[in-house]
Structure 1
Amino acid sequence: MDSPESKAHKLSSEDKKLITAMYKRLDEERMWRLSMGTIVEKQMEKVAAMCNHEHLSHSLILDPQDNVWALVFTEKEIQEIKSHQAPKLKTMPDEMNEYIAKYKGLVELEAIEEVNAQHRFSRLKEPYLHWMSTSIAKVLDLLYYNYLGKERSESDLLKHVWTIIDCCFYHDTIDVFSGEQKSKSTNNRVNNDRSVAAQEPCQRRKVGSKTDLLFATDVVELGTAEAGKDTDINSTKMISESGFKTPKVLKDMLYHMVKETPAKL
């Protein structure tokens, strides 16, 4: 059962007062000023005041994919926000590029299978080449048996398709967990005010948000993702989970990382 946090609730007059007060407490000297002079937090405050139901702006989160920001930012400003300090993906090592190039131009499953069968890599000495090779073999199974040609549930996709991605983390310090995982970072936030009150029973521990995929080390959580079928991309569930719950969980993780390693802020 989803946490109530994953559903946007109607704001009360008290909620709106707290949101207004939160924005007023922000230090204007530390606000984000775009190249055109627009102050991001000031525009976020305008959107926060427009909404009658909970929105990411009430958690000081700006998702530039949300069309609502077109009400207060120009197209150029939104593009500047999207590209600001955007991470750059590393290029694949030469040996991985050389291996994948062996499949170039192949379209018949039998031809792909033949190349795949000719290459075997050490799990410990060549972990990523091993992952690529075994991943291609798993994809061949899906294609040979037309697994994706039939109606599949979200659980089916996590179990048989996304597991190919999961295996990439076997030889890494990052672990990936799937199947309605509870985020410790979110649990810590929602239970932050939990205490034993005098002459009152202890407050029940609240349950934080659950996610489909959770990426973590032994020390901190690093990321999360929601799985869903492309046919459900505009469904209420997907909008609620990927567009609302996930950014809030990511913010909780970021906050927890800052608390664990303040020197790296």
Structure 2
Amino acid sequence: MKCNFYHLSQSLILDLGNAHWTEVFSEEELEELEGFGRPVLPPIDKAVEANLNNLRKVKTAREAYEFARRMEYDVEVDGMLAWLSLTLQNTASLFLKKNNYNIQQYLESEKLYYLWSFVNTIFNDSEYIDALGKEKSSVANAEASNNKRKISAVNVVNSLKIGRRMDTVYVGAGDVELGCLKIGKTSDQTKEWSDGLIKMPIVMRDMLLKMVNRSPDLINKLHTMGYNINGNDIVLLDMDIPQGYITRIRRTRPAEYPNKDNFVVRLCPLLKLAACGKQIAEDTYETYSSYEVPLSTLTF
């Protein structure tokens, strides 16, 4: 009631990464809200975890590159290990140049393709989830924006609205939107607020509600995920409806992209973060796709 401007709470979205809530809840209440339900970071593939533990024993980009070359796996069977090996080699190669400072001058599309591509290429191994880029519009967000649209009767039909554009949309089996990604070239707090605190949560909410509207019994079991990349930092967002009908967002702390001096210690958490994001998307899709939707009549 105090808001003079739009706030996500007006859409029944509780974003625990929003500093406003420290003025509403106590520290103990915020911890309870954060800890309820399953953790934000789910367990990842055991083989990937084991190799990341071994990777931590090396220090430089050159050593990480050689580590990746020595990894043993069957490319047709061990898709996650193939992704890990290729990601290490491709990323490390950027740091083997004598002068690699120009990588920080890349445009948004170049940063997503060269620096952060591993959060998308990890889905190459997935049987049913694709990472669709090139500023794809969210279908779920478009449908939510047009849900009050009616054929012409008393008044002319409203113009069709398109969904908000994301830099990547994660889609299962061609039509189930499971998450999205937004990237900013530089560290820009205003853009970070606009994308990460307003645009992405609304799009993720629409994706989640589209699944819930089709499968109401799964309302407290489904999740959507997202990545907000701002300059050299990445944050993983997890959205769910843990109990009742309030949509909750939990965020990881910003993880920093590596440089030559801290290549391994910065890259390992990023690779694990990508594996966690994939696990969230796959768990949701498996839960949603295995549920038998009962027949019912259409109501408005």
TM-score for both structures, normalised by structure 2:
0.65
1:1-265 matches, cutoff 5 A: 49-87=1-39, 89-119=41-71, 121-145=73-97, 146=100, 149-172=103-126, 173-198=128-153, 200-218=155-173, 219-229=175-185, 231-232=187-188, 234=189, 236-265=190-219
Contact 2:184/2:191 (8 A) holds in 1: no
- CA, structure 1 residues 154+201, in 2 after alignment: closer, same or farther (shift >3 Å)? same
Give the gaps of 5 or more residues in structure 2: 220-300
Give, in angstroms, the shift of residue 147 of structure 1: 5.8
Q: What is the letter of the counterpart of residue 204 of structure 2?
A: L
Q: State the distance in 1 between where 2:54 and 2:12 align.
A: 48
Q: What is the letter of the counterpart of residue 116 of structure 2?
A: W
- CA, structure 1 residues 80+263, in 2 after alignment: closer, same or farther (shift >3 Å)? closer
TM-superposition CA deviations, 1:178-215 (whole Å, max 9, x none): 23211111111111111222265432101221112211
Give the gaps of 5 or more residues in structure 1: 1-48
Q: What is the letter of the counterpart of residue 122 of structure 1?
A: D
Q: State the distance in 1 between where 2:154 and 2:46 align.
A: 67
- CA, structure 1 residues 91+230, in 2 after alignment: closer, same or farther (shift >3 Å)? farther
Q: SS of the counterpart of 1:175?
A: strand
- CA, structure 1 residues 237+111, in 2 after alignment: closer, same or farther (shift >3 Å)? closer
Rg: which structure is higher? Answer: 1
Contact 1:216/1:223 (8 A) holds in 2: yes
Q: State the distance in 2 between where 1:102 and 1:74 align.
A: 41
Q: State the distance in 1 between where 2:14 and 2:86 align.
A: 39
Contact 2:180/2:204 (8 A) holds in 1: yes
Q: State the distance in 1 between where 2:217 and 2:26 align.
A: 36
| Greater fraction of residues in strand | 2
Give, in angstroms, the shift of residue 221 of structure 1: 1.0
Identical aligned pairs, as a percentage? 28
- RMSD over aligned Cα, in angstroms? 2.2
Instruction: Show the counterpart of 1:44.
Output: none
Q: SS of the counterpart of 1:224?
A: strand
Q: What is the letter of the counterpart of residue 107 of structure 2?
A: S
Q: SS of the counterpart of 2:94?
A: helix
TM-superposition CA deviations, 1:81-135 (whole Å, max 9, x none): 1222143534344433443344343224333333332335333211111111001
TM-superposition CA deviations, 1:224-253 (whole Å, max 9, x none): 232225622x2x222011101111111111
Q: Size of the alignment, in residue pairs?
A: 215
- CA, structure 1 residues 262+108, in 2 after alignment: closer, same or farther (shift >3 Å)? closer
- CA, structure 1 residues 77+199, in 2 after alignment: closer, same or farther (shift >3 Å)? closer
- CA, structure 1 residues 84+143, in 2 after alignment: closer, same or farther (shift >3 Å)? same
Q: SS of the counterpart of 2:15?
A: coil
Give, in angstroms, the shift of residue 77 of structure 1: 1.3
Q: What is the letter of the counterpart of residue 130 of structure 2?
A: D
- CA, structure 1 residues 263+74, in 2 after alignment: closer, same or farther (shift >3 Å)? closer
| Greater fraction of residues in helix | 1
Q: SS of the counterpart of 2:52?
A: helix
Q: What is the letter of the counterpart of residue 209 of structure 1?
A: R
Q: SS of the counterpart of 1:111?
A: helix
Q: State the distance in 2 between where 1:51 and 1:75 align.
A: 22
